[in-house]
Amino acid sequence: MEIVRNADGTLVVPVQDSRPREADEPTEASDTDSGIEATPAQPGPATRVLHPGEGGYDEALAEWDLQQNPGRESAVSTPGGRQDAMTLLHDVATQPDAEVASALEALDDPEATGEALRHVLVGGAPSVEGFAQEIAEAEGGDQMPAHQATKIIGEVLTELED
């Protein structure tokens, strides 16, 4: 099953049971003295919805991005792509009416920006937090929360795939 990215930035990810259960193994409490028999628990959902900022979201977003183009080589961040990525995220985060599509059109090399953002995602949550701090230092203002940066990165990558 593949990871699905919803329009609101949430990700639907497959979930695996922590361990397989034996067919005759009771999974709910039983009280044999009172005559209540054990019944196997119903299987839970095979998916889980992750929101930006939740544990595992950054990793799932990186995996989703890899699913979009499985033949893509490892992400390589160039200085120009990284600088454009910082500016893009800052602009989208600080301008309420900023659209990702129009912000991407203004860049000289949107693909290099996308590669820089993929490179950030590969590092997981610490990398996204560090990138958000780097943006605040380079662009000024307060550091955006890592979950906001991750959500914008997802929007940028989605726009680049379209």
- Cα separation, 64 vs 67, whole angstroms: 5
**Tell me: the pLDDT tens digits for 9-62?**
888 999 876 655 555 555 555 445 555 555 555 565 689 999 887 888 888 888
If 0-12 CB within 10 Å is exposed, 13-18 middle and 19+ buried, where does residue 131 land? Answer: buried
- Cα separation, 161 vs 34, whole angstroms: 60
Using alpha carbons only, give the angle 90, 96, 99 rounded to the nearest 5 degrees. 75
Confidence check: pLDDT of 159 > 50: yes
**Tell me: the pLDDT tens digits for 124-152?**
888 899 999 999 999 888 999 999 999 99
- End-to-end, the C-alpha distance of the chain in Å comes to 21
In the prediction, which pLDDT does 143 show?
93
Query: Count of CB atoms within 10 A of residue 124's CB?
Result: 15
If 0-12 CB within 10 Å is exposed, 13-18 middle and 19+ buried, where does residue 66 land? Answer: middle
Confidence check: pLDDT of 63 > 80: yes
Q: What is the phi-psi region of residue 109: left when phi exceeds 0, alpha when psi lies from -120 to 50, beta otherwise?
A: beta
Q: What is the pTM of this model?
A: 0.65
